[in-house]
């Protein structure tokens, strides 16, 4: 029952967020401007007709456009893009690209971050701890954009230095490559390494710092002492009792980091030329594509909600204290 | 006793940010200040930050070139005695524009942080103290703001604010930065509310709003200070990212973000256009983060890393 | 205690019973100072020796180093602590062993029970798994099923009902007492030779404390282990241990058999401590012995006896060097000290088992036969005028009638929903008249704090009424409420959290005055007056609460409560967070203030000894109801309700002879959930009397809720169908 209520609340929030984005975009973006540069210059009637078709005409009252849009949304249709293609189809193509990136980036970044953070806490003030803390600290001070660009620059250097194109940094795969399944897979991986790394590095830094702090909090607690008093060695008590407990707050932290990472995908996709949802954010705004903007907002809101829901579930699974009996 | 009488005179009724004159008394604040300054990280961070501020405001005076001046004789030149950091593709002196950009980034970072933290403190404290309906409404707004992809909204709003200057940009950045702090403040308020001194104030008839400003918010000052510091760096980073895509600071204003955007396109071929502004940005953010970290250790009694 | 059967194998056979199992010699623990702060010398030369099956009590106030010394012995201190000296376990040196070797010993030969059962169990594993782990870690060859069997048997042994099923439950599903039982089961898992108990009952209610102490006795009988009992409670030690070691400022200051130390203390500190405890068994109303001052900081100890600054009989020679722990009469004479100052500085060598004292005047105290009352100046507490006016003629200042407070019971941290109602306060009535103190006592969860909050909120209660000084709560306008607040003030339990740490003391005490619109001049005068009244130096007004000790902070809280000259003061466990020696001073202050200012107190406490000392009347609460109420003398000497009897009987008396002679009523089980109180008499599930009744008589308890009925003349009433007076103290 509460699950249903919660989901309903999510749906309402997502809908409101999307509406808000739609209304903002509809009032500030100017699709008409797209036709100003066109040669031959289309007549105003032609433009109006085209814009009406796309439900983008600024001469139609906003309320009417909105009503039409909501009607479409109710049937699961995000309308047409400025080019007249279906937003849904475009989204279907792009979602997979972004989700792959997000999934791999998160899994790699979070796992390595948690492991390194936990180990750092156990070895507090030893070399490993200092090095990993320092690295994480540095990364956190560098904007995602700069990370992505710097990785690209480094890749160029390496490619030039070795004379082999080890790293690819433009697009998802080489178009028109005919190398069979394995060749194509290899090619995709070649392309994916850098963007995934760019995303994962930020995640790694955030998680390793957080996990280290949580772990330090738990290491001094009474139950770790109890475990040692039972006869566990310090190390074993740390990993069996402390780490397991220190994972719980990290799960909540995941939701916070996730939002930041979503923004990160925008830069990464844009810089590495991937046609995912992230780069669509920029593209749709630049092309005054109101319907696409709404679709992207909706996707992002769903992602944030899903992450929060996922972390709640994980939390309940990890912490017996909150399990609903 | 005269000391206390003096304090009575100087203490304002709300005492929200009574921190400034509290240092006079050998008490908690001087202890905190002592711990703070004993933190090497805080000292180093502060020193670097001051250095950067000095560079940003005094540095431009040392250069023969003006901010809007262009040297049509040299485009995209590497650093030389004439152009200390080289020139960009329109012949602007990179030294001068980088420092001016640094100015803007510092101002934006500080302003956004102050506004964000203030909003977060008030929203969180009211939600946490009154709970019930106030809490539901405020937290719902907070959740909504969290769900909205802030980057996207800022980018959409960009055409509308393009001409209103960077102050509006600052307000917008702040409008999307307060939510997480507000949630933290709310949680803390709920626990602070159960403190006996809050009950004591309530049972002597102090009004709730006054309790919030007199007892609740000052007792979160360590969290707020630390968070404000962290917000400085996240604001700077947000500014950079937005400006990178052209949704931020607009010409003729420059910020480190716009410079990085410019430089990144030729990072491989003309590294000086990219390296200096990026380097300064990273140093700036790191200095602020260092202060934040150090402050957390100094102010947060829970912090374990205070040892050794 | 459900079962006492199971394994009986006596492992003492091959060992020499004379050889001590644990010998600690000249143990020192130092925590290096951080950021150029001075080192903290937490333990400075502790020696003791523990024979097989012996029980040693280590007594001391907070910060005396009693816990640190035992943690050091087990190698459980953080790595940065510096430990030196010698710890021999069955003749083998274990100090300085590496972690792996120590881990083999920990939990097998020597095990530990910690203070706070809330945080001492890992929250994410079931208790069964945690005990299984304790079994398997030392016996890897034992299979999972065997280990599980053993775990269940251990749980049964420590009295967990339904052990096989409860083994699968998580720690948070157990009550505090049950968790402590689990801890004990874990400590017993491998039949250790030594069990160290670090304040095992401090976090528990008295009736549960009595259960746990019984259980520890059983555990000792079962395993034949020697026990080190660390506590601040002189009562707990009295009936339980063979020998006592009193610690002060990181050092033992007196040691001997429990009778020697309790009946013939020869160290002024021990004497003061024993005099500072309010006694349940002493009816006459003498003021308590307050030890002035505070324990010294362990970071910067001055030379000489650390207790000298607080000692009423300190001599200049006491400051020359720290006295050693020596046999009575073996201390150097004053002339010798003058001749060679600083000569006696060692900790006194190994434990010889004799009564030894670290005080250069111990010989003198012994020959003169001084007692605490002889050396400590007793404060004089004036008799209040009002006590001479009979109670009936004094006006009622606070009246509570049929007060009810229910709150919803929520479940789930993420998915919150209401699953029931907590009947926190379920219809209680009492009144307080001018100049008198009503003690409201009961265990945690009985609703006493809720009652207090309901009174203070001045809101309309869900049912019943609260009348403060003739005005009924809930019918007041905002202005009237504000005015009533002046006459009704509160002092809280925790001196740490009762004062805003960000405000200087002056501001704290001035806050009520300012809120009620006093002029600045008046505030200045009044604050000084108040600080003076509670015995604080007015020149400290500019300091922050953190700079004061617990007792001083509690005094500041009292000064704040008195600022508006209230007529009723509500005290929520005002001394329970304080050390004994500090507590006595605050209790004396409260008594004095009442006599001087004619206040009425509503005193909420779980400590019945303090209530006996301070209150005129007492109300005993159980599960939201008052089960017995009456004048203190009558209730304490002739309690009529079985719960009151059990409660009083559960409190240990700091007198070994009396304590050994007492028969304790040990209640079964835990407090039932206030969300689901038993039918009829709420106490029947744990009632010792109920069990003795015939089936027919029991029916009445099951169906009919007893009302308060007079038990004798006066207004002493009890809510029991079969109330019967019985002396238990």
pLDDT in tens, A168-224: 777 777 777 677 788 888 888 888 888 999 999 988 998 998 898 888 888 888 899
pLDDT band at C121 (very low <50, low <70, confident <90, very high): very high
pLDDT tens digits, one per residue of C709-727: 888 767 899 999 988 888 8
Q: Domain check: are C73 and C116 in the same one?
A: yes
- Check residue C386 and give its pLDDT: 55
Domain contains C588: yes
B159 vs A28: CB contact, 8 Å cut-off?
yes
A281 vs B286: CB contact, 8 Å cut-off?
no
Q: Between A and B, how many CB-CB pairs are < 8 A?
A: 119
Number of domains in chain C: 3
pLDDT band at C556 (very low <50, low <70, confident <90, very high): very high
B27 vs C504: CB contact, 8 Å cut-off?
yes
Q: Domain check: are C72 and C158 in the same one?
A: yes
Q: What percent of chain C has pLDDT over 70?
A: 93
Which of A2 and B269 is assigned the larger pLDDT? B269
Q: Domain check: are C412 and C471 in the same one?
A: yes
Contact B299, A150 (CB under 8 A): no
The domain defined by A94-286 folds into: MetI-like fold (1.10.3720)
A209 touches chain B (CB under 8 A): no
A21 touches chain B (CB under 8 A): yes
Q: What percent of chain A has pLDDT over 70?
A: 98
Neighbors of chain B with 3 or more C-beta pairs under 8 Å: A, C
Closest Cβ–Cβ partner in C111, C112, C123 for A321:
C123
Q: Whose structure tokens read 């259960």? A: C211
Contact C194, C226 (CB under 8 A): yes
How many Å lie between the alpha carbon of C138 and the closest alpha carbon of chain A? 7
C114 vs A245: CB contact, 8 Å cut-off?
no
Which of B254 and B14 is assigned the larger pLDDT? B254
Q: Chain B residues contacting A, CB < 8 Å?
A: 143-144, 146-153, 155-160, 180, 233, 237, 240-241, 244-245, 247, 260, 264, 267-268, 274, 278, 281-282, 285-286, 289, 293, 302, 304-305, 308
How many Å lie between the alpha carbon of A220 and the closest alpha carbon of chain C? 8
C99 vs A234: CB contact, 8 Å cut-off?
yes
- Check residue C451 and give its pLDDT: 92
Give pairs for C143-150: CB < 8 Å, separation 24+.
C150/C189
Q: Which of C589, C610, C629 is the last residue of a domain?
A: C629
Tokens of B94: 């990179």
Which of B228 and C502 is assigned the larger pLDDT? B228
Interface test with C, best of B139, B190, B203, B300 (most C CBs within 10 A): B203
Q: Which of C174, C208, C241 is the last residue of a domain?
A: C241
**Rg of chain C on CA atoms, in Å:** 27
**Which residue of A lies nearest to B160 if distances are taken between CA atoms?**
A28
How many Å lie between the alpha carbon of B203 and the closest alpha carbon of chain A? 34
CA distances from C595 to C433, C434, C600 (A): 14, 11, 10
Residues from chain B contacting residue A146 (CB–CB below 8 Å): 240, 260, 278, 281-282
Tokens of B276: 């200096």
Closest Cβ–Cβ partner in C106, C122, C413 for A231:
C106
Residues from chain B contacting residue C516 (CB–CB below 8 Å): 204-205
Q: Domain check: are C77 and C122 in the same one?
A: yes
User: What structural domains does chain B harbor?
Assistant: 51-64+108-308 (1.10.3720.10)
Q: What percent of chain B has pLDDT over 90?
A: 17
Q: Domain check: are C363 and C421 in the same one?
A: no
Instruction: Enumerate residues 6+ apart whose C-beta is below 8 A from B132.
Output: none
Domain contains C599: yes
How many Å lie between the alpha carbon of B33 and the closest alpha carbon of chain C? 14
Contact B135, B175 (CB under 8 A): no
Q: Whose structure tokens read 């399990």? A: A323
Q: Which of C184, C219, C241 is the last residue of a domain?
A: C241
pLDDT band at B23 (very low <50, low <70, confident <90, very high): very low
- Give the C-alpha separation, B163 to B173, whole Å: 16
pLDDT tens digits, one per residue of A143-174: 888 888 888 888 888 888 888 777 777 777 77
- Give the C-alpha separation, B119 to C658, whole Å: 64
Domain contains C531: no
Contact A258, A227 (CB under 8 A): no
Residue C562 DSSP symbol: H
Provide the chain C residues 168-197 that lie in CB contact (below 8 A) with chain A: 170, 172, 183, 186-187, 189-190
- Give the C-alpha separation, A285 to B246, whole Å: 11
- Check residue B11 and give its pLDDT: 31
Closest CA to B100 of B67, B147, B68: B67
Q: Between A and C, how many CB-CB pairs are < 8 A?
A: 102
Query: Residue B44's CB: how many other CB atoms inside 10 A?
Result: 15
CA distances from A65 to A81, A82, A281, C520 (A): 14, 15, 21, 65
Residues from chain C contacting residue A232 (CB–CB below 8 Å): 103, 133, 137
Tokens of C602: 């509503």
pLDDT tens digits, one per residue of B28-40: 455 566 666 667 7
Residues from chain C contacting residue B218 (CB–CB below 8 Å): 500, 502
Encode B149-163: b = buried (16+ Cβ within 10 Å), e = exposed: bbbbbbbbbbbebee
Residues from chain B contacting residue A144 (CB–CB below 8 Å): 237, 241
- Check residue A149 and give its pLDDT: 85
Return the CATH number at C439: 3.40.50.300
- Check residue A114 and give its pLDDT: 92
Closest Cβ–Cβ partner in C498, C507, C510 for B196:
C498
B150 vs A263: CB contact, 8 Å cut-off?
yes
A229 touches chain C (CB under 8 A): yes
How many Å lie between the alpha carbon of B111 and the closest alpha carbon of chain C? 26
How many Å lie between the alpha carbon of C512 and the closest alpha carbon of chain A? 38
Residues from chain C contacting residue A227 (CB–CB below 8 Å): 122, 133
- Check residue C5 and give its pLDDT: 34
pLDDT of residue B1 exceeding 50, the answer is: no
Interface test with B, best of A146, A167, A205, A276 (most B CBs within 10 A): A146
C482 vs B4: CB contact, 8 Å cut-off?
no
Concatenate the DSSP letters of all residues of C431-459 into one string.
EEETT-EEEEE--TTSSHHHHHHHHHH-P
Domain contains C697: no
A226 touches chain C (CB under 8 A): yes
Q: Domain check: are C437 and C352 in the same one?
A: no
Strands C471-472 and C463-468: antiparallel
Domain contains C424: yes
Encode C644-679: b = buried (16+ Cβ within 10 Å), e = exposed: bbbbbbbbbbbbbeebeebebbbbbebbbebeebbe
Domain contains C550: no
Average pLDDT of the residues in C54-81: 87
pLDDT tens digits, one per residue of C161-190: 888 999 999 998 888 888 999 999 999 899
**Residues present in chain C in total:** 729
Can you give the residue range of the structural domain that contains C422?
387-487+566-629
pLDDT of residue A229 exceeding 80, the answer is: yes
Q: Domain check: are C465 and C586 in the same one?
A: yes
Residue A31 DSSP symbol: G
A321 touches chain C (CB under 8 A): yes
C114 vs A320: CB contact, 8 Å cut-off?
no
pLDDT tens digits, one per residue of A44-67: 888 888 888 888 888 888 888 899
| CB-count exposure of residue C300 (10 Å: 0-12, 13-18, 19+) | exposed
- Check residue B112 and give its pLDDT: 93
pLDDT band at B24 (very low <50, low <70, confident <90, very high): very low
pLDDT band at B305 (very low <50, low <70, confident <90, very high): very low
Q: Whose structure tokens read 């410079």? A: B259
- Check residue B225 and give its pLDDT: 82
pLDDT tens digits, one per residue of C456-499: 988 888 889 999 988 888 888 888 889 999 999 999 988 778 89
Residues from chain A contacting residue C114 (CB–CB below 8 Å): 222, 225-226, 229
**Rg of chain B on CA atoms, in Å:** 23
Closest Cβ–Cβ partner in C504, C527, C564 for B25:
C504
- Give the C-alpha separation, C35 to A52, whole Å: 71
pTM over the 0.90 mark: no
B268 vs A143: CB contact, 8 Å cut-off?
no
Which of A309 and B120 is assigned the larger pLDDT? B120
A245 touches chain C (CB under 8 A): yes
Q: Domain check: are C231 and C322 in the same one?
A: no
Encode B267-305: b = buried (16+ Cβ within 10 Å), e = exposed: beebebbbebbbebbbbbbbbbbbbbbbbbbbbeeebbb
pLDDT tens digits, one per residue of A9-23: 888 888 988 998 899
Contact B91, B75 (CB under 8 A): yes
How many Å lie between the alpha carbon of A164 and the closest alpha carbon of chain B? 17
- Give the C-alpha separation, C596 to C535, whole Å: 14
- Check residue C387 and give its pLDDT: 63
pLDDT tens digits, one per residue of C249-273: 999 999 999 999 999 999 999 998 8
Strands C82-89 and C92-93: antiparallel
Q: What is the ipTM of this complex?
A: 0.79
| CB-count exposure of residue C115 (10 Å: 0-12, 13-18, 19+) | buried
C99 vs A229: CB contact, 8 Å cut-off?
no
How many Å lie between the alpha carbon of A285 and the closest alpha carbon of chain B? 6
A27 touches chain C (CB under 8 A): no
């Amino acid at each position: 029952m509460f699950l249903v209520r919660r989901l309903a609340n999510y749906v309402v929030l997502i809908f409101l967020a999307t509406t808000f984005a739609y209304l903002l975009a509809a009032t500030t973006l100017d699709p008409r401007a797209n036709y100003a540069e066109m040669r031959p210059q289309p007549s105003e009637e032609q433009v109006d007709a085209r814009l009406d078709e796309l439900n983008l005409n600024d001469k139609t009252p906003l309320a009417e456009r909105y009503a039409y849009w909501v009607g479409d949304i109710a049937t699961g249709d995000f309308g047409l893009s400025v080019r007249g293609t279906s937003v849904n189809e475009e989204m279907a193509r792009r979602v997979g690209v972004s989700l792959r990136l997000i999934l791999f980036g998160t899994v790699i970044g979070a796992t390595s971050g948690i492991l390194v953070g936990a180990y750092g806490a156990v070895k507090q003030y030893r070399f490993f701890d200092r090095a990993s803390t320092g690295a994480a600290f540095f990364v956190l001070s560098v904007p995602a954009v700069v990370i992505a660009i710097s990785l690209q620059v480094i890749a160029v250097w390496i490619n030039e230095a070795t004379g082999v194109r080890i790293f690819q940094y433009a697009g998802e795969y080489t178009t028109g490559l005919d190398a069979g399944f394995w060749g194509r897979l290899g090619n995709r991986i070649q392309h994916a390494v850098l963007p995934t790394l760019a995303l994962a590095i930020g995640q790694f830094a955030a998680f390793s710092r957080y996990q280290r702090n949580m772990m330090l909090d738990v290491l001094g607690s009474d139950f770790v002492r109890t475990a040692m008093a039972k006869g566990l060695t310090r190390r074993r008590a740390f990993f069996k009792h402390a780490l397991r407990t220190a994972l719980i707050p990290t799960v909540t932290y995941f939701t916070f980091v996730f939002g930041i990472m979503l923004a990160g995908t925008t830069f990464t996709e844009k810089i590495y030329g991937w046609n995912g949802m992230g780069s669509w954010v920029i593209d749709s705004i630049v092309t005054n594509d109101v319907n696409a903007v709404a679709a992207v907002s909706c996707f992002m809101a769903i992602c944030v909600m899903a992450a929060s829901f996922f972390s709640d579930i994980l939390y309940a699974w990890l912490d017996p204290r909150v399990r609903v009996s | 006793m005269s000391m206390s009488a003096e304090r009575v005179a100087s203490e304002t009724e709300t005492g929200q940010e009574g921190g400034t004159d509290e240092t006079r008394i050998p008490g908690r604040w001087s202890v905190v200040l002592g711990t703070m300054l004993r933190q090497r990280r805080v000292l180093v961070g502060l020193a670097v930050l001051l250095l950067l501020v000095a560079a940003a405001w005094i540095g431009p005076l040392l250069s023969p070139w003006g901010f809007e001046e262009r040297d049509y004789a040299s485009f995209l030149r590497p650093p030389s005695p004439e152009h200390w950091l080289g020139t960009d593709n329109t012949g602007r002196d990179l030294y001068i524009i980088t420092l001016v950009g640094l100015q803007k980034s510092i101002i934006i970072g500080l302003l956004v942080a102050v506004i964000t933290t203030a909003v977060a403190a008030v929203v969180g404290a009211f939600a946490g103290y009154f709970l019930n309906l106030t809490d539901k409404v405020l937290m719902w707004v907070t959740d909504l703001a969290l769900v909205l992809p802030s980057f996207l909204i800022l980018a959409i709003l960009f055409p509308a604010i393009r001409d209103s200057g960077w102050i509006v940009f600052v307000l917008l950045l702040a409008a999307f930065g307060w939510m997480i702090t507000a949630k933290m403040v709310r949680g803390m308020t709920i626990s602070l509310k159960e403190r006996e001194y809050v009950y004591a104030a309530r049972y002597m008839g102090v009004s709730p709003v006054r309790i919030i400003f007199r007892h609740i918010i000052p007792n979160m000052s360590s969290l707020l200070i630390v968070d404000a510091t962290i917000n400085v760096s996240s604001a700077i980073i947000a500014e950079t990212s937005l400006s990178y895509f052209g949704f931020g600071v607009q010409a003729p204003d420059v910020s480190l973000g716009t410079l990085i955007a410019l430089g990144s396109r030729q990072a491989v071929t003309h590294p000086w256009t990219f390296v200096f502004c990026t380097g300064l940005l990273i140093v700036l953010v790191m200095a602020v983060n260092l202060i934040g970290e150090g402050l957390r250790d100094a102010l947060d009694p829970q912090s374990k890393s205070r040892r050794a | 205690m459900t079962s006492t059967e199971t394994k009986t194998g006596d492992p003492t056979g091959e060992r020499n019973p004379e050889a001590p199992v644990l010998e600690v010699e000249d143990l020192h623990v130092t925590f290096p100072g951080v950021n150029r702060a001075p080192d903290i010398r937490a333990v400075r030369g502790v020696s003791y020796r523990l024979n097989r099956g012996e029980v040693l009590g280590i007594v001391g106030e907070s910060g005396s180093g009693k816990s640190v010394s035992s943690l050091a012995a087990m190698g459980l201190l953080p790595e940065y602590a510096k430990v030196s000296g010698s710890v021999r376990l069955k003749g083998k040196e274990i100090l300085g062993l590496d972690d792996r070797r120590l881990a083999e010993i920990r939990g097998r030969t020597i095990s530990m029970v910690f203070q706070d059962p809330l945080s001492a169990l890992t929250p994410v594993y079931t208790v069964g798994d945690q005990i299984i782990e304790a079994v398997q870690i030392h016996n890897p060859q034992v299979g999972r099923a065997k280990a599980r069997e053993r775990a269940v048997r251990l749980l049964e042994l420590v009295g967990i009902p339904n052990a096989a099923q409860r083994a699968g439950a998580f720690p948070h599903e157990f009550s505090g007492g049950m968790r402590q039982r689990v801890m004990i089961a874990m400590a017993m898992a491998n039949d250790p030779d030594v069990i160290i108990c670090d304040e095992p009952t401090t976090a528990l209610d008295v009736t549960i404390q009595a259960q746990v102490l019984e259980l520890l006795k059983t555990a000792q009988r079962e395993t034949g282990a020697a026990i080190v009992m660390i506590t601040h409670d002189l009562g707990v030690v009295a009936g339980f241990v063979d020998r006592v070691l009193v610690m002060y400022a990181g050092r033992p200051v007196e040691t001997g058999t429990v009778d020697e130390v309790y009946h013939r203390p020869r160290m002024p500190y021990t004497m003061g401590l024993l005099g500072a405890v309010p006694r349940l068994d002493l009816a006459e109303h003498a003021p308590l012995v307050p030890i002035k001052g505070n324990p010294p900081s362990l970071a910067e100890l001055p030379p000489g006896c650390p207790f000298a600054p607080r000692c009423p009989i300190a001599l200049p020679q006491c400051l020359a060097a720290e006295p050693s722990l020596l046999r009575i009469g073996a201390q150097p004479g004053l002339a010798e000290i003058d001749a060679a100052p600083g000569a006696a500085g060692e900790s006194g060598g190994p434990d010889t088992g004799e009564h030894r004292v670290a005080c250069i005047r111990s010989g003198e105290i012994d020959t003169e036969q001084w007692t605490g009352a002889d050396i400590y100046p007793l404060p004089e507490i004036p008799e209040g005028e009002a006590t001479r006016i009979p109670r009936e003629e004094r006006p009622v200042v606070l009246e509570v009638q049929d007060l009810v407070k229910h709150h919803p019971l929520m479940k789930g941290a993420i998915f919150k929903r209401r699953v029931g109602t907590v009947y926190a306060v379920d219809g209680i009535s009492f009144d307080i008249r001018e100049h008198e103190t009503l003690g409201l006592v009961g265990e945690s969860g009985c609703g006493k704090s809720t009652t207090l909050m309901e009174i203070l909120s001045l809101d309309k209660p869900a049912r019943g009424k609260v009348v403060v000084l003739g005005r009924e709560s809930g019918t007041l306008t905002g202005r009237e409420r504000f005015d009533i607040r002046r006459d009704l003030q509160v002092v809280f339990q925790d001196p740490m959290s009762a004062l805003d740490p960000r405000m200087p003391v002056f501001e704290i005490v001035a806050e009520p005055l300012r809120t009620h619109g006093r002029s600045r001049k008046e505030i200045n005068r009044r604050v000084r007056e108040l600080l003076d009244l509670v015995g604080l130096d007015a020149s400290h007004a500019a300091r922050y609460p953190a700079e004061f000790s617990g007792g001083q902070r509690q005094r500041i809280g009292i000064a704040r409560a008195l600022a508006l000259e209230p007529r009723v003061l509500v005290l929520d466990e005002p001394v329970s967070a304080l050390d004994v020696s500090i507590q006595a001073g605050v209790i004396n202050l409260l008594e004095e203030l009442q006599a001087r200012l004619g206040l009425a107190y509503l005193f909420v406490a779980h400590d019945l000894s303090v209530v006996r000392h301070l209150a005129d009347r007492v109300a005993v609460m159980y599960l939201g109801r008052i089960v017995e109420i009456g004048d203190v003398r009558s209730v304490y000497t002739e309690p009529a309700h079985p719960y009151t009897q059990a409660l009083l009987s559960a409190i240990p008396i700091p007198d070994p002879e009396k304590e050994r002679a007492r028969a304790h009523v040990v209640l079964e089980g835990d407090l039932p959930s206030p969300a689901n109180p038993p039918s009829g008499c709420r106490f029947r599930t744990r009632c010792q009397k109920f069990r003795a009744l015939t089936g027919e008589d029991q029916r009445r308890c099951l169906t009919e809720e007893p009302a308060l009925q007079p038990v004798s003349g006066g207004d002493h009433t009890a809510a029991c169908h079969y109330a019967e007076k019985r002396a238990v103290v």
